[in-house]
Amino acid sequence: MGQGQSNEEGPHLTTAQVSHELALKFAKRCFTPLELYSFQDVFKSLADHQDSIAYLKEDTIARFLEIPDIIGASSIIFQMISYLGAFPFGQDAPVVLGFEQMIMVVVIMTQRYQRVLKKGNRDRTKLFFRSLAVYDRGESQNNEEKPETNEETQKDEGASAIRSHVAGFTVDDAANDEEEEDDDDLALAALESLDAIEVFRHGDAPITQASIPSDNLKKLIMLLLLIAPLGTQESLARHAERLSGDQLESLRRTADNVLGAFVNVEKFPGVKIHQFNTVIPISFPFMFNGFNALFEHFLFSKNIDFTKRRDSTPLPPLDPTLDQPLLPQIGEILDLNVLSQLSFFMPGDTLFRRLRLLYSGGDAGFSMGSFETKVFNWRAPTILLVSGNRISDPPIGGQERAFSDTLPPKRFPDSSKSSHVVFGVYLSQPWHQTHKECIGDTDTLLFQLEPVHEVFHASTLNKDYVSFTKPPTSHAGIAFGSPHPKPKPTAGLPPHVSLGAVSLVLDSSFEFGVFTHNYTSGGGAFHNSQSRKSDWQDRFEIESLEVWGCGGDKEQEEQRQRWEWEEREAEARRKINLGTGDIEADRALLEMAGLIGGNRSGGSMN
C-alpha cells in the first residue's frame, strides 16, 4: 500500500480495492499494535460466518455494546454503522459488516480518522446525517419525471412549507438545503490520501431528498444522553439505574427538549440536513462524543490482560475516578440526564464527577444575600440554572402585576405552548457584586434547556454579560445580556428595566424572571438564535434556582479556607473594643489591626 503503488495502480483500482487499501491505512495509522490485535480478537469472538465471510449481526453488536432494549436504538445504530462501513463509497451502503468494514466504523466513531485525514467534526456530522437519513423515493421519482419543475411550483412548495410550521422555527424551511449538496469532503480526503480520487463517483441520492425521522432521532438522543459520561472501558450496564422509573421518564423528557432544537415534531416528521448542520455546531458541538468511549470497546479484548506489563508489575487503573458518582447530589433542576444534556455543549471532563452544588434557593433561601454567601468564594467556573412557570398575560396576582410593571410593555409572544421553562448560564469568572461594569468574558454562555434546547454564545463586541446588583441600585437583581443598571434610582417614577436583545433577568427577590429574544434588533451581548428566527419573551415565576461549581476537591477546599478566613476576620472585628468616642483614634486602631486601609474597607465609622 505504498505511495508508489497507489500512483501506479490508482486508475485501475476498483472501489473494493480502494476500500481495502484505505482499511489497511486506517488500521496501521489509527490503531496501536495492541489495539489492532485486540480488535482482531474481539471481531473473531463475535463474528458469524456464511461461507467464507465473517461478519457481525445487529443483535451481536447491540449485545456487545450493551445497548438497552428499552431505548429501541439498536436498529438505528446498526443502520448508522452499516452506512459508515461503506466509507468512502456511501452509495454502496448498507454493507455487510466484515472485518475491514468494522475498521471504518470504529475509526469514524472514535474520531481516530483525524490521525490520517485533516478534517473536523463538521465532516463527521455530515456522515452521521447520511447514515441516519431515509430518502423520499417518491420525491426522487417526481424529480426524475419532472426535471423541468417551474418557478411557480417552487414558490407554491415554499409557501406551503412556511405556512405549515409554527412561527419561530424558520430552520424548518428547506430553502437553504441546496447549499449542503457538497457533503463529501471527508470521503474525498480519504481518496486523496490514496491518490485514488478518480475512483470516486457521486452515486448517493441527493441529500436534499433525505431526512432523519424524528422518532429515530429521539431514540438516538436518548442513547447519547445515556452514554455521554462513559469512560474508557466503562460498561454501559453501570448506568442501568437511569433506565427505570422516574429517571427513565426524565430521560425521555430531556430527549424531547433536545429534539426540539432540531424540529417542531408537531408539524414536521423529520430533520433536514440544513437543520442538522445549523443546530449541531452551535448548540451540540460535543453531542456525539459518547460514541468515542462506546466504540473503543472494540479495541479492548477481554482475553488480554491489560493490567500487567511484561515485567509483571501491575498498571495503574485506567480511570480511577469511575467509582466516584457522576453527580455528588441531585439538585432540584440538575439531575443525571440534564447533566448529560449540558455535556452536549460543554466538555464532559469539566462536568461529570466535577460539579459541586454551591447554592440552592430551596435550601439556602431565595435571596441575593444567601447567593452571595454561598457562591462568591468559588474561584472556578460556575453554572447557574433557573426553572419556573410562565406567568399569565396579562398578569393576575398582585406580585405578578408589580413585576410586570417594572418591565417594558410586552410586545413579543411566548416562546412555546409549554408553560415550564429552564434557562442557564455558564460563567468562567468568579462572581462578585458589580457597580458600573458587567463581569464575564467571551466564554460566557446563555442557554435554554426546556422546552427547547438552545445555546446563545457571547458576542465579542457587546460585553454586557453578567451583572449582580443589590438594592438600592435601580432594578437590582441578576441580569445576563442586559445593560448594567443605574447605580441609584432616578427621581420620580422608576424607569423600566433595560432588557438586552437576548437576555435573562432575575429580580432581586428571586421571585420572577424574564427571558427576551429580540431577533429583529440583531442581537446584543449574546447572539441571536439561528434556528428560531423570531421575537419572543417568556416571563416566569421562579420555581428553583441553583448554582453549581465546576471543579473538584481542590476548588472546594479553597472555598472552605476563604469561608474560614472571612469568619476569623468578622470575629476579629467583633472583639475590638472601640467605644472611645474618638473616630480618628478608632480608625487608627483598625488600621493597625490590618482591618481597614489599602484596598480593604472596614465599613462605615459613623
CA 360 to CA 549: how far, in whole Å? 12
For residue 447, which phi and psi values (nearest 5 degrees)? -145, 160
| 590 has a pLDDT exceeding 80 | no
> Residue 160 CA to chain centroid, in angstroms?
32
Per the DSSP assignment, residues forming a β-bridge with 491 are none
CA 65 to CA 63: how far, in whole Å? 6
CA 560 to CA 358: how far, in whole Å? 11
pLDDT in tens, 550-574: 976 666 666 666 656 666 666 666 6
CA 601 to CA 587: how far, in whole Å? 11
> Residue 315 CA to chain centroid, in angstroms?
34
CA 133 to CA 210: how far, in whole Å? 6
pLDDT in tens, 245-291: 999 999 999 999 999 999 998 888 999 999 999 999 999 999 999 99
| 546 has a pLDDT exceeding 70 | yes
Return the C-alpha torsion angle 5, 11, 14, 16, nearest 10: 40
More confident residue, 468 or 152: 468
pLDDT at 498: 92
| 95 has a pLDDT exceeding 90 | yes
CA 190 to CA 351: how far, in whole Å? 34
CA 101 to CA 45: how far, in whole Å? 16
pLDDT at 229: 96
| 237 has a pLDDT exceeding 70 | yes
What is the 3-state secondary structure of 64-82?
HHCCCHHHCCHHHHHHHHH
What is the 3-state secondary structure of 365-388?
CCCHHHHHHHHCCCCCCEEEEEEE
pLDDT in tens, 44-75: 999 999 999 999 999 999 999 999 999 999 99
Diameter of the chain measured on Cα atoms:
103
Residue 515 burial by Cβ neighbours in a 10 Å radius (0-12, 13-18, 19+): buried
CA 525 to CA 507: how far, in whole Å? 19
Average pLDDT, the chain: 82
Given a contact cutoff of 8 angstroms between Cβ atoms, the answer to whether 542 and 510 are in contact is: yes
Q: Give the mean model confidence (pLDDT) for residues 464-480.
A: 92
pLDDT in tens, 186-219: 666 666 665 554 554 445 567 888 999 999 999 9
Q: Where are the domains of the chain?
A: 3-150+160-299, 354-552, 554-592
CA 243 to CA 356: how far, in whole Å? 24
What size, in residues, is the chain? 606
pLDDT in tens, 391-411: 998 888 889 999 999 999 999
